[in-house]
Amino acid sequence: MPMKIVMNKKALLAVFIGWLFFTVLIYYLADYFIEALVWLGLSLSLFVILIIQVLKLIRERKTLTGLRIAKVIVFSVMFYCTFCSWITHKWIDRLNFAVLYNKRMAIIEQVKSGRLKPNASWNSSLCQLPFQWPVVSHSGNDIVIGRNKNTQALSVSFYTYRNFFDAPSTSLTYTEDTAVVASIENKIRQYPDRNQRIREGWYRVTEE
C-alpha cells in the first residue's frame, strides 16, 4: 500500500522558503538557457500542484480547513511569481540594490577618484574588481565604466544578471550622463517591465 504524504503547516512553510531560495539561486547562478528550462519545468509543476489543491478545496468545501486554503494561496503565489518571472526578478534586484547600496557607492567613489579604472585586456570599459565578496556584480564582480566623450560624465553598471551570446543582461546602472539618462528613459517608456528608475541617478536596465 503506497504511503500517503501529508503536508502540514511546517512542511508548507519549508516548501515556500525552499522555493524562495531556489528562485534567487537560479536567477544569480544559472545561465539564460538553464534558467529558461527551470522556468518551464517549475511553472508546469506548480500549475499541476495548484490545480490539484483547487480540486481538493472544492471537494472539501463543506469541511474546509485553514490549511487547505493556505495551500491554495501559497501555491498560487509561487506559480504566479514563477510564471511571471520578470516581476520576481525586478523585486530581487530592488532588494539587492538596497542591501549593497553603500558598497556600490563606495566603488563609484573609487572610480571617480581614479583608484578603479578599466583593467580588462579584452574590453576597454570593463573593470575587474579586486575582491570576490560581496558579489556586487554578477559573474566575476566585473563592472562597466563609461564616460561621455565630450563631458566626461560618468556611468557605472553593476550586473545583476549577466549573459553572453544573444540573451539579455540586466544591470543596476549609476549615471551622471544626461545622454545615458535620456537613452534609459526611452527604454523605460518602451519596456517599463524590464527597465525602471530606482532613485536619482540609479536605474535598473535590461540590455536587449
State the pTM of this model.
0.79
Coil, strand or helix at 108: helix
For cell 531556489, the residue is: 22
**Sorting pLDDT into bands at 50, 70 and 90, what band is 2?**
low
Tell me the per-residue pLDDT of 96-116, one tens digit each, with 9 for 90 and over. Answer: 999 999 999 999 999 999 999
Question: Which residue, 18, 194, 163, is CA-closest to 90?
Answer: 194
Domain ranges of the chain: 9-83, 95-207
